[in-house]
Structure 1
Amino acid sequence: MMAGNPPHAEAALSTTAPSLPPNDVGRLVRRLYGIEGAVTPLAGERDQNCRIETADGTRYVVKIGNPSEPVPVVDFQIAALEHIARASARLPVPRVVRTLDGQARAATVLPDGRRCTVRMLSYLDGIQIRETPRTAAQRRAMGTLLARLDQALHGFAHPAATHDLLWNVAAAHRLVDKLGGIMDAPRRALAEAFMRRFIDHVLPRLGSVRAQVIHNDYHFYNVLVAPGDHERIVGIIDFGDMLHAPLVGEVATAAAFHMTGNADPFEGSAQFVGAYHAALPLAAVEQEIVADLMATRHLITVLISEWRAARYPENRAYIMRHNPAAWEALTQMADMSRNEARDRLLTEARKGTANEQHH
C-alpha cells in the first residue's frame, strides 16, 4: 500500500528520546568508558546527545539511543564510520570510541525500564556552517567534500543499510497519508502537487539510478568549518539518517538547503551541485531528476515536521527549524515547470564546473 509506513520507520520519530539528567550521564560514561568529564546537553531529534569534556580539554559525544532504534541500525552507523576511517582517513568524520572492554557500543536501562544503546564518538571542533555567511567558495567546498564522502562509502555494505527511514527522498510516496495533516488549504494543495510530480516523474526512474550508502543529512547544521576560515571544512557530523538509497537523492537532499539566501533560488544549489558533479559526475538520468528530488526533500521536510510538531509541542522549535525555508522553496519551484527547474539548475551547475576547470 502506497501510503503505509513500516512500523519502525515511524517509531523512531514517534518514540520519546531518552532524557537522563547530566549527573546520570556522567556516571554512565565513567562506568562504561572510564572517562570523567563535564556533561553538556546537545540538540537531537531522536537520541539524547551530550558533550563530555575532560579536565585536559579532550571532548567526546555520547549518544544514548532512542529505545525504538533497532540495534542493527546502530551497528550499521558504527560500521560506516569505521569504514570511512579506513577508506579515506583524512575525511573529517567522528571516530568511534570503544568502551573499557573494547566494545563499539553498550546498553543501559532507562529509569522507566526501556532499554537503549550507548555509544561514544570523538568530538569535532568547528563552527556549524549555519552560523557563517554563505559564499560560493564555501558551497563548492561542501559539494566537493560530499562527493569525497560518497566515494569513500561506495562499496560499503551492511545488513541494516536498507532499513526504513522516513527521511528518504526516494520513498516520499509513503508520506501520502501525511498530506491531510497540513491544515492550510493552499499549502496542502502545493504539497499535493509536488507529491504528484514525484510519483509521476521521479518514482518510475529510480530503478535505473545508482544506489549506495549515503549520509542523507548533509546540511548547515551537520557540516563544520574552521573558526578563522569559513571555507575550510573541518567536520561532517550526524550520521543518524544514513541508509542505502539512490546517490542522486544524496545530492538533491544536500543541494535543497542551498536554495535560501539568494534572489535566484538555484544560484547556491547550482554551485553546490556543480562542485559535486565535477568530483563525482551525475549520470544523465540522475541529472534529469535531481531538481525534482530537491523539491521532494522540501516536501518531506514539511510533511514530517508538521506531523511531528503537532505530537511533540515541547520540541517544536527544533522539529520546525527547516520548515519555513522548505515552504519558501516549494513556493518558488511551483512557479516553474520541472523541465525549467532542471535546466536552471544544470545550466548554472555546468557553468560553475567550467569555471572551476578553467581556474
Structure 2
Amino acid sequence: MSMEHAKPKFSQSQVSEMVKTLYRMTAAEIKPLPSYDDQNFYVATSEGGEYVLKIMNSEDSKNPAITEVQTCAMSFLHQNGLPAQTVVPTTSGQLISLQEMDCGYGCQKYLVRLLTYLPGITISKVPLTPKLLYETGKMAARMDVILKKMEHPHLRTLQRESFIWSLSNIPLLEEYLRVLDGDPLQEVVKSVIDQYKTSVLPKRSNFHKCINHGDFNDLNVLVQPDENDGYKISGILDFGDMNDGYYIHELAITLMYMMTVHPEPVEVGGPVLAGWESVLPLNDAEKDCLYLLVLCRFCQSLVMARYSVTLQPENAEYLMITSKRGVHILQQLWTLGKEQVEKRWFESAAKFGEK
C-alpha cells in the first residue's frame, strides 16, 4: 500500500467518540494539527485536561514494537527531567490501542495514543538568539545521552536498515533522484551522495553510537518565554523517526533545521555546536564529517519533500516547508565549501565557549 493510502483520515466526530470510549473523557474542543504521515488532533476535555491524540498511519501501525519503544523513550526522557510528552493510558490500562476504521481504502488498523499536551510555541516562531541556539544544541545532546541509557526489549527495532530518514542510509536517496529531473539541484545532491560514500562511510567506525531522536527540527521543539525576556525550551515532540545512529547525526539534523529558520543560516553553527560540545565534545572524525552530514540532511529533506508532493499534492504546503529556504541554503553551503563553513562554525563555537 502507498503511504498516500496509509495516512488516516478520521473525522472530528470519530475522534470525539474515540476519546469517550477509550479514555472516558468528553472532548469539548478538537483541532487538527499538521502531520507528515499520521493524523494528530489537539483535544481539550470538559474535565479540564489538554491532550494530543496521535493516530498513526496504517503502514507504521503494523509494527507496534517500534511504537512501544518510542513511547518508552518519551516517558524515560520525562523521568530524567527533559520536557517530553507522556502517554495517557486507556481505561483498560493500555498505552497504545489498535483501532479499526475505514478511511476510504477499506478497513485498516491504526495505532492510537493520547499524549499529554505541552505548553509553548514552536521554536520556528521566535527569534533564534545565540543563547537559544546554544540551549538547543545542549538539549539535543542531553536527550541523546539519556536515550543511550534506556532499556527496552524491542530496542533492536531501531536498527532501521531501509529507513529513508536515517543519516546512515544516504545512498537510498539515489532511488528518488528522478523527482529532481531537469532541476540543477540534482547535480548537487548527486555530488553530496558521492562524497558521503567516499568521505563519511570510511570514518563511521570512529563515530560514537547512540539512539537518535532523528527529527529534532524547528516544529518539534517548543519554547516558552523565560524570565530574561528570552525563551526556554518547553517541549520535545515527535519520536516517530527514532533510529539506531550516532551522536554526530543528531547534531547535524539539529543544525540543519535551525538553519532553515534563521536569517543568517551559516551563523547558526557556532552556538548550536558550542551547546552540543558543552555536553558531548566531538572527536576528529565527527568534526571532519559534520559539514557533509548537514548537507546530507538538506538533501534528504528536499528530495523526500518533492517525492511526497507527488503522493499528496493537497498537502504540498506543509510538505514543502523546509524546501522553500532549504534549496537556497544548500546551494549557499555548497558554494562556500567545507573549509570555509567549518572554519566559521568551529571558530564561532570556540569564541562562544570562552564567554
Alignment CA distance shift 1:34-1:234 (3 Å):
same
Distance in structure 2 (CA, Å) of the matches to 1:174 and 1:47: 23
The equivalent position to 1:126 in structure 2, one of 120, 126, 139, is 120
Structure 1 CA distance, aligned partners of 2:109 and 2:262? 46
Structure 1 Cα separation of the partners of residues 2 and 284 of structure 2: 35
1:61 aligns with 2:52: yes
Q: Does 1:80 align with 2:73?
A: yes
Structure 2 counterpart of 1:95, from 75, 82, 86: 86
Q: Which whole-Å deviations, capped at 9, do the CAs of 1:189-216 have from their partners, x for residues lacking one?
A: 1211212121211122123211211111
**1:7 equivalent in structure 2:** none
- Equivalent in the alignment of 2:255: 255
For 1:178, the equivalent position in structure 2 comes to 176
- Structure 2 matches for 1:192-207, cutoff 5 A? 192-207=190-205
Q: Which residue of 1 aligns with 2:157?
A: 160
TM-score, with normalisation over the residues of structure 1? 0.90
2:207 to 209, 224, 248: 209
Amino acid at match of 2:150: F
User: What is the SS of the residue equivalent to 1:119?
Assistant: strand
Match of 2:303 in 1: 303
Query: What letter matches 1:216 in structure 2?
Result: G
Distance 1:253 1:261, change over 3 A: closer
Paired letter, 1:151: V
Task: Tell whether the 8 Å contact from 1:217 to 1:253 is kept in structure 2 after alignment.
Answer: yes
Q: Distance in 2 between matches of 1:178 and 1:47?
A: 22
Aligned to 1:4: none
CA shift at 1:140, angstroms? 1.0
Structure 1 residue 224 corresponds to structure 2 residue 217 = no
What is the SS of the residue equivalent to 2:187? helix
Amino acid in structure 1 at the alignment position of 2:96: R
Conservation of the 8 A alpha-carbon contact between 1:127 and 1:227 = no
* Residue of structure 2 in register with 1:147 after alignment: 141
Moved more, 35-44 or 225-234: 225-234
Cα contact 2:200–2:289 (8 A) shared by 1: yes
Counterpart-to-counterpart distance in 2, 1:231 and 1:215: 22
Cα distance in 2 for partners of 1:275, 1:287 equals 15
Where does residue 25 of structure 1 map in the other structure?
A: 15
Which whole-Å CA distance do the structure 1 matches of 2:294 and 2:324 have between them? Answer: 15
Code of the residue aligned with 1:313 in structure 2: it is: P
Secondary structure in structure 1 of the residue aligned to 2:54? strand
Q: Residue 288 of structure 2 corresponds to which residue in structure 1?
A: 288
1-side partners of 2:52 and 2:166: how far apart? 25
Q: How far 1:325 sits from its partner (Å)?
A: 2.0
Does structure 2 conserve the Cα–Cα contact (< 8 Å) formed by 1:97 and 1:104?
Answer: yes
| Alignment gaps of 5+ in structure 1 | 1-10
Question: How well do the aligned residues superpose, as a CA RMSD in angstroms?
Answer: 1.8
Cα distance in structure 2, aligned partners of 1:260 and 1:34: 41
144-153 or 255-264: which moved more?
Answer: 255-264
Paired AA for residue 232 in structure 1? K
Q: How many Å separate the matches in 2 of 1:121 and 1:221?
A: 17
93-102 vs 225-234, greater mean Cα deviation: 225-234
Distance 2:182 2:265 in 1: 24
How far apart, CA to CA, are the structure 2 residues paired with 1:148 and 1:161? 19
Are the equivalent residues in 2 in contact too, given 1:107–1:116 (CA < 8 A)? yes
Q: Secondary structure at the match of 1:169?
A: coil
What are the Cα deviations for residues 286-312 of structure 1, in whole angstroms up to 9, with x where unaligned? 111111111111011111111111221
Q: Give the unaligned 5+ runs of structure 2.
A: none
Q: 1:235-259 CA deviation, whole Å, 9 max, x = no partner?
A: 1111111111111000000001233
Would you say the 8 A contact 1:216–1:253 is kept in 2? yes
One-letter amino acid of the counterpart of residue 110, structure 2: C
Of 34, 39, 48 in structure 2, the residue corresponding to residue 48 of structure 1 is: 39
Corresponding position of 2:95: 104
Q: State the AA in 1 paired with 2:246.
A: P
**Cα deviations across residues 153-183 of structure 1 (Å, max 9, x unaligned)?**
1232413121342111221111112112103
Q: Distance in 1 between matches of 2:263 and 2:171?
A: 31
The offset of 1:232, in angstroms, is 1.1
* Alignment CA distance shift 1:12-1:277 (3 Å): farther
Distance change (3 Å), C-alpha of 1:13 and 1:292: farther
Q: Percent identity?
A: 25
* More deviation, 336-345/210-219: 336-345
CA distance in 2, matches of 1:333, 1:250: 19
| SS of corresponding position for 1:46 | coil
1:56 deviates by 4.6
In structure 2, C-alpha distance between the alignment counterparts of 1:173 and 1:126, rounded to whole Å: 37
